[in-house]
Structure 1
Amino acid sequence: MGGLMFYWIFWSFWVYLTFLVDKKNPYRGKLSAIILIVLLLSNLQFHLRGFDIHASGLFLLVICYTFISQEKQRAIIYYFICSLIVSIGYVTFHLFEIFDPVWIIFKKEWMMGICFGYLSILLQKTLKGRLLITICGTMQGEFLYAYTLSKFPFPYEIGGFEYLDVCALISALLVCWSALENASTYIQTHYHFFEKEKQKSS
């Protein structure tokens, strides 16, 4: 069933942000509202110039552009380059799936989640940056892929549930990876602290 992974992951994010994250966190309210709006818009779609577009995907793209526009000029240029790399990779993946599906060795959603999650980790150092270039790049890739398919008799919904599943999975993998990175930093910091305490006591 398309969208099942999206609903599970996004509802989990919303519950965590709403009930478990510290209320003083500046991103808590914004992210909770964004996730809730995406969930509400997931079944809404419209037709524009021959393309079927899901409102949730378009909303995510606008939000990403808004966050990126608040950065410094050099950072905006780098975000643009990174998202363009992700977009090209996203379209290439889908085209290879059509013309040479043999190389899809396991479930497509997981292959895309791992590939683009790893790519965003290589391109950005922070969780915020990784999420922005991933969502922005994949959604731009959706438009480019739909435009490519428009030359053939293949119907395609931009930002549909198939895309939302992949987007949610990549986001979950990036959050888990970020948690592991922070956990290792926390352990190293406290390990050195305890080592110093032992040295002082001895």
Structure 2
Amino acid sequence: MAASSRGDRPQASRATSLGMQKFVKGDVAGSLAEFDRALQLDSSMRPYLWQRGLSLYYLKEFEEGAKQFRDDVAVNPNDTEESIWCYLCEAQLYGPEEARKRFLKVGVDSRPVLRAAQEVFQTGRGVEKLEEMARADPNGHQGFYANLYIALFHESEKDADEAQRAMIRAVKTVYGTKSGDYMAKLAAVHCQIRGWTL
């Protein structure tokens, strides 16, 4: 089926929802198939399908993942998480040093923990600040996100042991277990994919 710029938005939205449901159940390949179906139904959704970029990362389709996040930032220029995930894809392709040179410029995020995370990924320094934020809010939103991005930073630096410890801490926060946040589900899927026992 050829993609149309403004196709069947209701069906595309349903495909997106189904893709999200599949992802949180650990069916990452199935989630990508649904996100791609959403694009076939309505290609104008492309810059809003950040969930597709996450699935691409876990399927090791890093070039397409980076492109997805770059397209997302074009319409959402203040989203720090899009720039971090683009970096995570490009660090796999080019290494951390080159990925930092290509780091997407975004506006100021309203969330302090995301501003701190952006600094860590952009510079390769300051993970201690994220660790302090995690300790200050061990079970809440800030603690979850601090640990999530500590883990992802260590993964991008090829330190699997530190990545595992931080990701498990993120999953075990009250926020991680009870919030229903897509990123909280992602942390659990991350552990599942990496074979890390909670």
TM-score of the superposed pair, with normalisation by structure 2: 0.32
- Return the index of the structure with the highest Cα Rg: 1
TM-score of the superposed pair, with normalisation by structure 1: 0.32
More strand by share: 1
